[in-house]
Amino acid sequence: MSDPQHHDFLIVGAGMAAHAAATGIRAEGATGSIAILGAEVDPPVERPQLSKDLWGTDDRDGAGAIRDTAGETGATLHLGDPVVAVDVERRVVRTAAGAEHSYGALLLATGGTPRTIDGLPAGDRVVHFRTLADYRHLRALAEQEPAPRIAVVGAGFIGTEIAAALSGTPATVVLVHPGEQVGDHAFPPAITSQIEQELTRRDVVLRGGAGVERGEVAAGGVVLHLDDGTTLEADAVVVGLGVTPATGFLGDAVTLDDDGGVVIDSHLATSAAHVWAAGDIARYPDPVLGSTRVEHVDNATSMGEAAGRAMAGARDLYDHTPIFWSDIGDLGYEAVGTLSTRLTTVVDAVGDGTVVYYLDDERVRGVLLWNVWDRADEAVKVLAEERPADPEALRGRIG
């Protein structure tokens, strides 16, 4: 076999964290070679656009979401060929096609792998929505004649955003989820009822109270078997059941947590020398949230940028507490921390919106800014403070 191709900076994964890392390497003044190895066939894209902005445009190819990583940073992109092995002793990675790349510094930024439904592999009628290719595929499906019936499974970020996006296409949409109300794992009733009204107004049929156990591709369609014993037929299905860290290729090269996340320190370094990690896969010590792994774009871009700088020699402690946001049709919010209705909630009306504080016995763990904008910094401060003895004292803290 020929010698590995050498790169001063090697980035495995070609998502938002990878793009940001290449930018961070250059921002730190490093001029060495950068290579990005991606499993997806497309270069890094602004992933939030795939389930939001692009749907309101004629951009069926999604060109507007693509970042010019090569042009902006001089990185070489090797796409459509996943990395299958990492040797941290030899400082070499190997791809599925058998290419070997050696590195001075390595960043792991492979993101998440969508969970699947038993019996339903990805295919023409089954979209595990995550990539630009998935956007193109689903948009083409939704705009077919005659208008298809599409089942969206899961009412998390993908389920709610995609159900709202599809409602602007000719497709008819049914949203299948295990909760009593859409989003009731995260939001109090005053907010879930607004989400349900918005989706219903958009003619999304809500099928709550039943999880999907398994599915099958049948002649001309898909059949979903629900855990209440019923079945649901559709022409196609979008799966939004969450993701697992895409770290299977790492073996024991670096320390992983119980979920398969890569454990990193506050300089974003892994347990292996010359190897960093960033984005969805990275479990890091956040000064406010504690040890955490965050699957949102603000985390991917800020951590990616910082990891790039660290690979180029910076020694800063990483202390950016990530925010996240979502749009569900005409509704929207920003948030920080954990939104779970298993925690105690304090609901506060603020202007035209609502602030929800989520707390346990020790701390405020999350803040939701529902239709309340540009206050995320204040929300981070609330999480960093001691919680008040009386939760009701949180009212008016942001507002």
Ligand X SMILES: NC(=O)c1ccc[n+]([C@@H]2O[C@H](COP(=O)([O-])OP(=O)(O)OC[C@H]3O[C@@H](n4cnc5c(N)ncnc54)[C@H](O)[C@@H]3O)[C@@H](O)[C@H]2O)c1
Nearer of residues 88 and 154 to ligand X, judged by Cβ: 154
CB of 301 to ligand X, least distance (A): 12
Q: Where are the alpha helices (DSSP H) in the chain?
A: 16-27, 47-51, 69-73, 132-142, 157-166, 189-201, 297-311, 376-384
b (16+ CB within 10 A) / e for 19-47: bbbbbbbbeeebeebbbbbbbbebbbbbb
Nearer of residues 131 and 326 to ligand X, judged by Cβ: 326
Mark residue 67 as left, alpha or beta (left: phi above 0; alpha: psi -120 to 50; beta: remaining): beta
DSSP lists the bridge partners of residue 162 as none
Nearer of residues 62 and 240 to ligand X, judged by Cβ: 240
CB of 108 to ligand X, least distance (A): 17
Nearer of residues 112 and 308 to ligand X, judged by Cβ: 112
CB of 185 to ligand X, least distance (A): 6
CB of 145 to ligand X, least distance (A): 28
Contacts of 389 (CB under 8 A, 6+ apart): none
CB of 174 to ligand X, least distance (A): 12
| Residue nearest to ligand X as judged by C-beta position | 156
386 SS3 class:
coil
CB of 48 to ligand X, least distance (A): 6
- How many Å apart are CA 182 and CA 13, to the nearest integer? 32
Helix, strand, coil share of the chain (percent; to 5)? 25, 35, 45
CB 244 within 8 A of CB 259: yes
CB 354 within 8 A of CB 190: yes
CB of 177 to ligand X, least distance (A): 5
Nearer of residues 185 and 267 to ligand X, judged by Cβ: 185
Contacts of 223 (CB under 8 A, 6+ apart): 215, 216, 231, 232, 233
Q: Count the Cβ atoms, other than its own, within 10 Å of residue 374.
A: 8
**The residue to which tokens 């049948």 are assigned:** 218
CB 82 within 8 A of CB 39: yes
Nearer of residues 110 and 326 to ligand X, judged by Cβ: 326
Phi (first) and psi of residue 276, to 5 degrees: -115, 170
Nearer of residues 29 and 242 to ligand X, judged by Cβ: 242
Nearer of residues 43 and 48 to ligand X, judged by Cβ: 48
Nearer of residues 16 and 254 to ligand X, judged by Cβ: 16
Question: Which of 303, 312, 302, 157 has the alpha carbon at shortest distance from 238?
Answer: 157
Q: Which residues bind ligand X (CB under 6 A)?
A: 51, 112, 153-159, 161, 176-178, 185, 211-212, 240-243, 295-296, 324-326
CB of 273 to ligand X, least distance (A): 29
27 SS3 class:
helix
CB of 211 to ligand X, least distance (A): 3
Nearer of residues 13 and 159 to ligand X, judged by Cβ: 159
- How many Å apart are CA 78 and CA 73, to the nearest integer? 15
CB of 154 to ligand X, least distance (A): 3
